[in-house]
Structure 1
Amino acid sequence: MSQGTERTKRVPPAQIQEVAKALSGDLRLRILETLGDRTMSVSQLAEGLGVAQPTVSINMQILEQAGLVTTTQGANREKLCSRSCDDVRFELPNAPGDALHELEEIVMPVGLYTSCSVQPTCGLAGMDGIIGCPDDPRSFYLPERAGAELLWFSGAGYVEYRFPNPVPPELPLKGLRISAELCSEAIGFNEEWPSDITLYVNGKRIGTVTPGGDYGQERGKLTPTWWAYGTQHGDLYEWRIEGDGCYVGKQRTADTTLDELELHFLRPILVRFEVEPDAPNCRGLNLFGEQFGNYSQAIKMTFVK
């Protein structure tokens, strides 16, 4: 520690896990030890620690996100690293919810559905290629589906997910938000091919959105280069369930309230994306993960406390 200088980082309850995780790695502790009162480049750290430079960079990123180090750009465009504190003080939670962020988020990969009903055209794609066989519903039950970044089916059908509930029962919620990137499903693609996609939470109908088509004219910003098929991206939608009802944007979509969802700390929250058989626009869906389409996110559930 510097003589006459005490730099203490106070960690609020909501950040304890992130900082503790950063401190749990042996290499990250060695990085902090090596830095001490000095500023060093990533290459100097790699040489001093005897590890590869990419490994140091990855661990430096974790330390920086936790607020334990700071980085600047040197004269030769090399990243310079220094320790931001000499002491860490954890402020332990005193009341239910203290350890939660004001907005607690859970992101679910699109391939981790627990139930589905699909019909051709249908399929799944990962970062490296098609999963299983296109237009074969049996592919939706392969273990490899966990790595899917895009799934699609035509006509009527659904995929359903189970989210954990991180909010203790003593803590009242102000709202629940669910967002995802979606479009309809046509053979190849069709820019004018609307589909009515309905969200259900714990069996309650939350609201329907209608993407205007199966978008393929412009390449998705995140879509991998190997993907030479029609669908490229979707629209990003967010459903909100609040104390007085359900909304998509400013539009009220249902009277179901947050209390009526009957959220329980020890039970999963069921989230279903469905194209209903009697929907006026029954034209399937494409559901995008964080590495496909235009938006870097999978299915996101946000708890507003």
Structure 2
Amino acid sequence: MNIDISNEHLPVYEALASAVRLKMIQLLAHRPMNIRELAEATELSSAIMTMHVKKLEKAGIIYTDMIPGKAGVQKLCVLDVEKIEIAFPANLSQIKDFHQFDVSVGHYTDFQIEPTCGLATREKIIGEFDEPRYFLDHDRVNASILWFGQGYVEYKIPNFLLSSNKPEELEISMELSSEAPDSNSNWPSDISFYLNNILLGQWTSPGDFADNKGKYTPSWWPSIINQYGLLKFLRVTSTGTYMDGNKISDVTIGDIGIRDKQWTFRVAVNKDSEHVGGATLFGAGFGNYNQDIIFRLYYTKEQKQS
């Protein structure tokens, strides 16, 4: 989660300003728990615990899901963030603008994949599982989830940078996981990222997750397969390329043709990788984050000489 010092994110600060709610976050980091379990662990009543749950839910730190229990329906609380980054105000002259472009996971312009594979919209599965030909189906542009065992999908992205704009940083965010037959939380996969045919770097996904229902995953979706991924932030800067703040290569923003009028972005699982465990891309309407693949190009405006 990325927040700043503004009233918009006040619910987050309010949610964290409580020893009880910090304890709840620590408990939920181990496993999802219902309200009764949280109340017992913190020695509070269920009524008071419900108030604390609402605070964390409003802040987007947890989400709740109604599931069947021994005594009827129960509210299960699930931790929804891995970390929170706070952007403090900078000098106003240094604040960067950005161009943003969102691309749906099904709006790829090229692909070469091998099973296991498949794709689906929010309403239905497209074609059949493990048949790459359905990646050419006319409905694939509406896909909100896709997965493949090996190969790549590739996207074209327009670039609206003006000649007077100085590019500073490219940020690409997406929800990702591995691709195991059915699912497996311990299924590492080396996923590579390319921009304009330049290898930005590689990230190893730890698994393909189905232990909990994805927050936005449709109710009709089978429970034994991909439910959610991890929200990853890939940043290309003047000093290198980073995944969630960790440097993964020395490729800089000056190396990737950042002023080209369009970019080509590829997500790949290469056959010669150490861990060939596939890839799953989640878009809006699937997984734990209601977003597509988001490209943000941060820039500063060059000052005219007087």
Q: TM-score, normalised by structure 2?
A: 0.65
Please name the residue that 1:159 is paired with.
Answer: 153
Alpha-carbon deviation of 1:296?
1.1
Does residue 114 of the first structure (1) align with residue 123 of the second (2)?
no
Give the match for residue 70 of structure 1: none
- Pick the aligned partner of 1:182 from 173, 176, 185: 176
In 2, distance between residues paired with 1:245 and 1:212?
Answer: 24
Correspondence for 1:298 among 282, 292, 295: 292
Provide the C-alpha distance between the structure 1 equivalents of 2:290 and 2:249, rounded to a whole number of angstroms: 28
The counterpart of 2:127, out of the listed 132, 154, 165, is 132
Structure 1 residue corresponding to 2:187, chosen from 193, 206, 224: 193
2:165 counterpart SS class: coil
Contact 1:166 1:265 in 2 (8 A): no
Corresponding residue for residue 277 of structure 1: 271
Residue in 2 that maps onto 1:149:
144
**In structure 2, distance between residues paired with 1:256 and 1:120:** 31
1:103: Cα distance to partner?
Answer: 2.5
Deviations 1:47-97 (A, max 9, x none): xxxxxxxxxxxxxxxxxxxxxxxxxxxxxxxxxxxxxxxxxxxxxxxxxxx
Q: CA deviation at 1:251?
A: 1.5
Supply the AA of the counterpart residue of 1:197: I
The 1-side partners of 2:203 and 2:173 are apart by: 12
Length, aligned pairs only: 203
Report the Cα distance in structure 2 between the residues aligned to 1:121 and 1:286, rounded to whole angstroms. 11
Separation in 1 of the partners of 2:184 and 2:284?
23
Partner SS for 1:174: strand
Q: Does 1:173 align with 2:173?
A: no
1:245 is the counterpart of 2:240: yes
Structure 1 runs (4+) greater than 2 angstroms displaced: 263-266
Match of 2:86 in 1: none
Is the CA contact (8 Å cut-off) linking 1:194 and 1:210 kept in structure 2?
Answer: yes
SS in structure 1 of the partner of residue 199 of structure 2? strand
The equivalent of 1:60 in structure 2 is none
Report SS of the residue matched to 1:104. strand
Instruction: State the alpha-carbon separation in 1 of the partners of residues 153 and 260 from structure 2.
Output: 23
Deviations 1:162-196 (A, max 9, x none): 00001112311110011110101111101100111
Task: Find out whether 1:261 has 2:256 as its counterpart.
Answer: yes
- 1:258-296 per-position Cα deviation (integer Å, ceiling 9, x unaligned): 111112353x11110001111111010110001100001
Partner of 2:229: 234
Structure 1 residue 225 corresponds to structure 2 residue 212: no
Asked if 2 retains the 8 angstrom alpha-carbon contact of 1:116 and 1:158, the reply is: yes
Deviation at residue 133 of structure 1 after TM alignment: 1.7
Q: Which amino acid in 2 is paired with 1:189?
A: S
Q: 1:207–1:239: 8 Å Cα contact kept in structure 2?
A: no
**How far apart are the structure 2 equivalents of 1:275 and 1:256?**
19
Q: Does 1:211 align with 2:205?
A: yes
Asked if the contact 1:157/1:275 (under 8 Å) is kept, the reply is yes
User: In structure 2, what is the equivalent of residue 202 of structure 1?
Assistant: 196
| Alpha-carbon separation, structure 2, partners of 1:250 and 1:110 | 24
Structure 2: gaps (5+ residues): 1-95, 300-306
Residue aligned with 2:167, SS: coil
Contiguous gaps of at least 5 residues in structure 1: 1-100
CA RMSD of aligned residues (A): 1.2
User: Which letter maps to 2:167?
Assistant: L
Task: Give the deviation of 1:204 after TM superposition.
Answer: 1.0
